[in-house]
Structure 1
Amino acid sequence: MNKYLDRLVNGLFKENPIFVMMLGMCPTLAVTKSAMNGIGMGLSTTAVLIVSNVIIAALRKHIPEKVRMPYFIVIVASMVTVVELLIKAYLPDVNEALGIYIPLIVVNCIIFGRVEAYAAKNSVGLSLFDGIGMGLGFTVALVLIGAFRELLGAGTVFNIRLMPESYEPISIFVQAPGAFLVLAMLTALQNKFKLPSATNGTAKKSELACGGDCAHCSAERFASFHNSASDSSIKKESIRKED
């Protein structure tokens, strides 16, 4: 497969930031009351991700290693400010719907994850397509979650009624708890059908993901901590006996 096309497929399917990597959960849960909100947030993040990736890839050889994170923060924050001002000027309805979550794109772990793990190490062309792929993957995930919540919570998708007039909307799905319920259901389906996901240990291991299997990982960490604590206690006891 063409390496540029592979970056698009990677972001959409192989390492989808929401469904596979489980990154950027805050905006995912907060703004997906409707499919339209999902598009607004997804495309805003995509624009920031694409431009940030391109700029950082172009400057990667001139950015000192020790201060790379401040450089990344300044670049990403500048792009978020530009996007926010454009949305306020030309899309006031979107700005009102998304509110504080537009400026909060600057701390989205998807953005910093990609610029640190990919754009800072690869060419401008590959970084451009990586940003497009990851951004579109994020957007598609938000739209799917938003459409599902809107359909159950209001009987519409993109404000188009799909449910019969007799349908009684389940209002909890357009409230905060509904976001957790929908994400949990979609994750459960992924695990049921053994689809790649960071929650069932089948996500592709990378610099951004450990590959999942959180329960096993926690068990290993507990065992390691317990063994370390035991060794420490034995050493202390030995020192006391020697004294």
Structure 2
Amino acid sequence: MSDPKLSKYFTAGLWDYNVAFVQMLALCPALAVTTSATNGLGMGLATTMVLMMTNGIIASMRHAISPEVRNPVMIGVIAGVVTLTDMMMNAWMHEMYKVLGLFIALIVTNCAVMGRAESFSSKNPVVPSILDGAGMGLGFTVALVIIGGIREILGSGTLFAQASLLLGENFHWLEMTIIPDFQGILLAILPPGAFIVLGFLLAGKRIVDRKIAERRAKTHGELVVLQ
């Protein structure tokens, strides 16, 4: 990870090419499962594992797969990895598995997973592909947790409720009551609330990106003047 080029593969998916906030992919799980921060974290980690495994496998096979059958092979690899992930969550995180349910299996149809397999791992070596999957997955996880956290606070006044079901009994400390005796805003945990929260977050990211670009342009202008 000390190689700047390798670290760039990882960091790109966290902000500049965030799956949800920039590429606008995988919005179905981003909006459907994020009724709480815990649900978003569980779905994000499952997707991250799938991205890393599929990217690594497809990158290792890239020279052996002919273009004519590349897409069916990639779909088969993704389906196999998702099935394995589904079985692992059912065995070791059964309570979270019951909450996420069908959405784990639907990772197969996640545009982000197929998109990274097609656009990156089928053309790059194994290590960069795994780092790309990790960065894209963690960026997606952060997006899900933020959306889920905002909806959970507005909907019930809590944050990371039932996190111990996902992470184990030692993580009871994550479970917080932000607003005691709060009746909650029903709209926040309904589908329209997900779209509203996502819209505000997208607008916020655009504002931050614009400020960063203006600051970089100003700094670059000052350097040119000094030279």
**TM-score bin (small chain):** 0.7 to 0.9
**Residue 85 (structure 2) pairs with residue 83 (structure 1):** yes
**Deviation at residue 192 of structure 1 after TM alignment:** 4.0
The amino acid that maps onto 2:197 is: V
Pick the aligned partner of 2:63 from 61, 64, 80: 61
Alignment map for 1:18-97 (pairs within 5 Å)? 18-97=20-99
Q: Deviations 1:160-181 (Å, cap 9, x if unpaired)?
A: 101133x331111111211111
Matches of 1:24 and 1:77 in 2, distance apart? 16
Identity %, equivalent residues: 45
Matches of 1:61 and 1:85 in 2, distance apart? 30
**Residue 191 (structure 2) pairs with residue 176 (structure 1):** yes
Task: Please state whether the residue corresponding to 2:14 is helix, strand or coil.
Answer: helix
Aligned-residue RMSD, C-alpha: 1.4
Q: Is the deviation greater in 1-10 or in 136-145?
A: 1-10
Task: Please state whether the residue corresponding to 2:71 is helix, strand or coil.
Answer: helix
Task: Please state whether the residue corresponding to 1:14 is helix, strand or coil.
Answer: coil
Q: Which has the larger radius of gyration?
A: 1
Matches of 2:210 and 2:28 in 1, distance apart? 23
Q: What's 2:180 paired with?
A: 164
Q: Deviations 1:122-158 (Å, cap 9, x if unpaired)?
A: 0001001001100100101000100000011110101
The amino acid that maps onto 1:177 is: P
Q: Is the deviation greater in 187-196 or in 172-181?
A: 187-196
Matches of 1:190 and 1:86 in 2, distance apart? 35
Cα gap change, 1:43/1:180 in structure 2, threshold over 3 Å: closer, same or farther? same
**Deviation at residue 3 of structure 1 after TM alignment:** 1.2
Alignment map for 1:191-202 (pairs within 5 Å)? 191-195=206-210
Matches of 1:95 and 1:182 in 2, distance apart? 25
Cα gap change, 1:193/1:133 in structure 2, threshold over 3 Å: closer, same or farther? closer
Unaligned stretches of 5+ in structure 2? 162-175, 212-227
Matches of 1:72 and 1:42 in 2, distance apart? 21
The amino acid that maps onto 2:141 is: T
Calculate the TM-score normalised by the size of structure 1: 0.77
Matches of 2:145 and 2:84 in 1, distance apart? 23
Matches of 1:155 and 1:120 in 2, distance apart? 44
Matches of 1:182 and 1:87 in 2, distance apart? 28
